[in-house]
């Protein structure tokens, strides 16, 4: 068919990857993932009204998750998955074909022109992001019937034509159900591992064998820790696994020592020469260099040709003995090594989820009322490799001393090693967790607004979001559905948002692209004294 992919921020020329992708995905893999999406649309249409949502939802979770950027680079496994989806649909329809109203084939999902193509892309890419969050909750035993149903009905709706107003209604409804999904994952994580508590995490790697675990799946982190605890192998988090240190039921493992590295896009430099094993649990993978490819293991939906994969047993358990053996074979460093973030700091603090922040809500409110705390900046989202992301470092560095910065997701690695000091007895930088912990940010903002007797949009709060992939899309759609306005989005605007759709987002929600740090900070004025 030929590649046409514009789902991530680093798409070629800001338009689409056609012959080669910036993420490393081949044409064959891109085509296979379009097949997955097309077969899911047909399965969704065939399954409507059959009462099979609960039965089929995991198929949709896994398949949509596999198409998220930096998850699966293996064309063969993607085509196998597409075949399995087709077989499931055929069984439902007793062999009859399923025709889609507005999508003639895999190549037509994203390539048509106009507002409808842009709005369809927003919905499909948002569903990919939500599927990842739903899958994280699912492996912990948490499901939501409305989320399950929307994975299927949403894909069916995306296969049809709608008027612009109908598309906007669909996107609003999707944003609301994705917020349910974020709440579900928060419940799954806090029920399973306890409420996060503020925790300082060292970037020192101690002597001896170790495993670096990256991605987002805390269930994999726990299973790995259980197997490493008495094996003489240390664990260091990487990327979005950093918040794992703040959960009591994960922090209790003595083998969980600290954090290694910065954001995902630096891995091809940071992993070179490291005498440890690496485990990728979710999206974060870049095509590995030969020098360390033999030390990498993937699991769950992550796959790449030539890399060892750790499957799950029927009961969901995983045997990480091969990863542990590789770590012991490599041996680690003979003496401790101290690493730093991109700004030179060697200690990171995380764990300021909604439970922790609302536990000191009286301190926050008193600081606001006393005039000590005049503004709150939420600076979060994905990091990436393209130019312009130093904007977020500079923005945080230049926030006034009478403000605090809430942050979440891997975009924080642009600045989370900075020491911003304190204000009103609070640290000026509060790391709320992973990208899905946007739920915590909304919960905190809602509680502050209620306590102050105002709406969220009337708070002295500015939201600045960096985006890279599809989970950022679904989070943005949830914020818009909740009525949050005047969000700054950068470092560039999504290629799949057409000019006419962008105009709607600007006029109805005040969405604005980031410009310069100086200009944006000047526009972000506190509303309350």
> What class, spelled out in words, does domain 12-192 have in CATH?
mainly alpha
| SS3 category, 82 | helix
CB atoms within 10 A of CB 383: 22
Q: Please give the pLDDT value at position 19.
A: 85
Residue with more model confidence, 385 or 372: 372
Q: Please give the pLDDT value at position 489.
A: 96
pLDDT band at 529 (very low <50, low <70, confident <90, very high): very low
| SS3 category, 277 | strand
Q: Please give the pLDDT value at position 341.
A: 97
In the predicted structure, residue 454 carries a pLDDT above the cut 60: yes
Mean pLDDT across the chain: 96
Fold of 199-338: Rossmann fold (3.40.50)
Q: Tell me the per-residue pLDDT of 12-35, one tens digit each, with 9 for 90 and over.
A: 989 999 988 999 999 999 999 999
In the predicted structure, residue 526 carries a pLDDT above the cut 60: no
Fold of 352-523: Rossmann fold (3.40.50)
- Kindly report the pTM of this predicted structure: 0.97
In the predicted structure, residue 36 carries a pLDDT above the cut 50: yes
Q: Where in the chain is the domain with CATH 1.20.1270.20?
A: 12-192
**H helices of 4-74, where?**
27-47, 53-66
Q: Where in the chain is the domain with CATH 3.40.50.2030?
A: 199-338, 352-523
How much is the average pLDDT of 68-93? 98
Sheet strands (E) in 33-162: none
Dist. CA 47–CA 92, nearest whole Å: 7
List of residues 6+ apart from 99 with CB closer than 8 A: none
Whether 437 contacts 475, CB under 8 Å: no
The tokens 């994203």 sit on which residue?
110
């Amino acid at each position: 068919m030929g590649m046409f992919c514009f789902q991530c921020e680093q798409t070629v020329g800001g338009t689409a990857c056609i012959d080669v992708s910036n993420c490393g995905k081949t044409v064959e893999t891109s085509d296979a993932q379009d097949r997955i999406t097309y077969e899911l649309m047909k399965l969704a249409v065939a399954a409507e009204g059959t009462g099979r949502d609960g039965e089929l939802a995991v198929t949709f979770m896994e398949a949509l998750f596999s198409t998220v950027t930096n998850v699966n680079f293996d064309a063969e496994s993607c085509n196998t998955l597409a075949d399995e989806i087709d077989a499931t649909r055929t069984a439902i329809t007793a062999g009859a074909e399923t025709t889609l109203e507005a999508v003639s084939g895999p190549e037509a999902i994203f390539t048509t022109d106009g507002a409808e193509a842009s709005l369809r892309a927003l919905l499909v890419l948002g569903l990919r992001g939500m599927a990842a969050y739903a899958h994280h909750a699912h492996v912990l035993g948490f499901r939501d019937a409305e989320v399950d149903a929307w994975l299927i009905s949403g894909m069916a709706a995306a296969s049809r034509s709608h008027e612009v107003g109908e598309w906007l209604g669909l996107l609003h409804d999707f944003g609301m159900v994705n917020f349910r999904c974020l709440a579900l994952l928060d419940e799954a994580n806090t029920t399973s591992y306890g409420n996060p508590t503020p925790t300082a995490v060292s970037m020192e790697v101690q002597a001896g064998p170790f495993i670096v675990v990256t991605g987002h799946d805390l269930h994999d982190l726990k299973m790995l820790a259980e197997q490493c605890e008495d094996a003489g192998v240390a664990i260091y988090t990487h990327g979005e696994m950093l918040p794992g240190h703040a959960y009591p039921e994960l922090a209790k493992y003595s083998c969980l020592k600290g954090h290694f590295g910065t954001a995902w896009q630096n891995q091809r430099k940071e992993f070179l020469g490291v005498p440890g094993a690496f485990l990728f649990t979710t999206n974060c993978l870049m095509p590995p260099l030969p020098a360390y490819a033999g030390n990498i293991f993937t699991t769950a939906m992550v796959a790449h040709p030539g890399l060892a994969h750790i499957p799950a047993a029927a009961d969901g358990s995983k045997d990480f003995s091969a990863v542990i053996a590789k770590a012991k074979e490599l041996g680690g460093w003979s003496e401790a090594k101290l690493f730093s973030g991109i700004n030179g700091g060697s200690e990171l603090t995380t764990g300021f989820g909604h439970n922790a922040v609302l536990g000191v809500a009286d301190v926050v409110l008193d600081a606001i009322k006393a005039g000590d705390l005049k503004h709150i900046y939420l600076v979060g989202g994905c990091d990436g490799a393209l130019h312009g992301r130093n904007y977020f470092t500079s923005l945080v560095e230049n926030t006034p001393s009478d403000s605090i910065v809430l942050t979440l997701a891997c975009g924080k690695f642009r600045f989370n090693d900075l020491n911003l000091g304190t204000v009103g007895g609070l640290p000026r930088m509060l790391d709320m967790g992973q990208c899905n912990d946007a739920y915590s940010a909304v919960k905190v903002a809602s509680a502050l607004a209620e306590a102050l007797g105002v709406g969220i949009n009337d708070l002295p709060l500015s939201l600045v979001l960096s985006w890279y992939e599809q989970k950022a899309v679904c989070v943005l759609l949830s914020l818009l559905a909740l009525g949050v306005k005047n969000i700054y989005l950068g470092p560039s605007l999504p290629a799949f948002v057409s000019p006419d759709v962008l105009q709607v987002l600007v006029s109805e929600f005040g969405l604005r692209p980031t410009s310069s740090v100086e200009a944006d900070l000047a526009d972000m004025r506190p509303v309350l004294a």
